[in-house]
């Protein structure tokens, strides 16, 4: 009798090792690809998370604004340059007539074009400084984007690892629950046949109840990890992989 109960307890205590040595079976094709090919999955996740990042969108907008501002700064010198023109009318005194009785008066038209540039040394130095500051601002924004991309990569890798671990724990807990259920049914049958005592059956039932709780906790952890990763990439995992 005691040997039978001991065998059941030993089987339950060995479930973790059994679950670790037995390969887990994916529920469908996308999970197979997702968990068995991290070298393919992780770049897909990083790309999707980058497209879904509001922070990167904000940084890109800042970069566009800074580049347009720099273009305006470089063009400001032309505001001090103007093109002018003028048209004049009048008469010009010519030579005397042959009989010296009068002069030859000739009308004329005069047209002129000029380029006006009024740029002070202070304006030139200030413009150079503004351009340099604009270029530094753009460089800083680009560094911020690189930092944002690096943060996304780290978050994706961490989320993927957490989900992978949650999947292993879930698989183990499901296997443990199945074995605990078999042990519970055997203990119930043995109790009815008088082979074990009430305390022995209660011990097996307690182990089964513990396996149920652990399976539910593992399932909750797995589902939470899936939701967090999907929130990060902005789409369903099966849509990304398939």
Q: What is the pLDDT of residues 176-196, one digit of tens each?
A: 999 999 999 999 999 899 888
Give the C-alpha separation, 131 to 106, whole Å: 55
Residues 91 and 19 in one domain: no
Q: Are residues 60 and 95 in the same domain?
A: no
Q: Are residues 206 and 224 in the same domain?
A: yes
User: What are the Cα distances from residue 195, in Å, to 66, 91, 103, 192, 214?
Assistant: 83, 139, 151, 8, 29
Tens-place pLDDT, residues 157-182: 999 999 999 999 999 999 999 999 99
- Residue 56 has, within 13 A of its CA and on its CB side, a CA count of 17
Same domain, 88 and 66: no
Write down which residue in 117, 143, 178 finishes a domain: 117
Tell me the pLDDT tens digit for each residue of 9-36. Answer: 444 444 433 444 444 444 567 898 999 9
Tell me: do 149 and 228 sit in the same domain: yes
Residues 87 and 201 in one domain: no
Residues 6+ apart with CB under 8 A from 83: 113, 114, 115, 116
Give the pLDDT confidence of 98-141 residue by residue, as tens digits. 554 545 555 555 555 554 545 555 565 667 888 899 999 999 99
Answer with the one of 92, 117, 142 that is the final residue of a domain: 117
Of 62, 97, 117, the domain-final residue = 117
Q: How many residues does the chain have?
A: 242
Do 39 and 112 fall within a single domain? no
Looking at the structure, tell me whether residues 63 and 146 fall in a common domain. yes
pTM exceeding 0.75? no
State the CATH number of the domain containing residue 65: 1.20.1600.10
70, 189: one domain: yes
Residue 116, token pair as written in the block: 């006006």
Quick one: 67 and 136 in the same domain? yes
- In whole numbers, what is the pLDDT of the chain averaged over residues? 80
Q: Both 90 and 142 in a single domain?
A: no
- The answer to whether 148 touches 221, Cβ cutoff 8 Å, is no
Do residue 230 and residue 197 come from a single domain? yes
Structural domain count, the chain? 2
Helices and strands counted in the chain (H then E): 8, 2
CA distances in angstroms from 136 to 56, 143, 148, listed in the order given:
19, 11, 18
Domain of 35? 2-76+120-241
């Amino acid at each position: 009798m005691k040997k039978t109960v001991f065998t059941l307890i030993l089987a339950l205590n060995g479930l973790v090792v059994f679950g670790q040595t037995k390969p887990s079976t994916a529920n469908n094709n996308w999970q197979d690809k997702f968990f068995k090919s991290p070298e393919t999955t992780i770049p897909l996740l990083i790309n999707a998370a980058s497209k879904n990042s509001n922070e990167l969108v904000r940084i890109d907008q800042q970069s566009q604004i800074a580049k347009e501002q720099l273009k305006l700064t470089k063009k400001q010198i032309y505001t001090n340059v103007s093109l002018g023109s003028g048209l004049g009318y009048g008469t010009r005194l010519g030579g005397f007539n042959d009989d010296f009785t009068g002069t030859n008066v000739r009308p004329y038209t005069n047209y002129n074009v000029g380029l006006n540039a009024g740029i002070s040394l202070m304006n030139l130095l200030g413009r150079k400084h503004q351009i340099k500051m604009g270029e530094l601002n753009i460089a800083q924004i680009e560094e911020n984007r690189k930092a944002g991309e690096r943060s996304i990569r780290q978050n994706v890798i961490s989320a993927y690892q957490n989900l992978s671990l949650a999947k292993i724990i879930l698989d183990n807990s499901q296997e443990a629950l199945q074995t605990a259920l078999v042990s519970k049914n055997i203990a119930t049958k043995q109790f009815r046949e008088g082979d074990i005592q009430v305390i022995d059956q209660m011990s097996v039932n307690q182990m089964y109840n513990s396996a149920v709780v652990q399976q539910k906790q593992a399932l909750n952890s797995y589902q939470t990890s899936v939701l967090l990763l999907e929130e990060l990439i902005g789409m369903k995992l099966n849509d990304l992989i398939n």
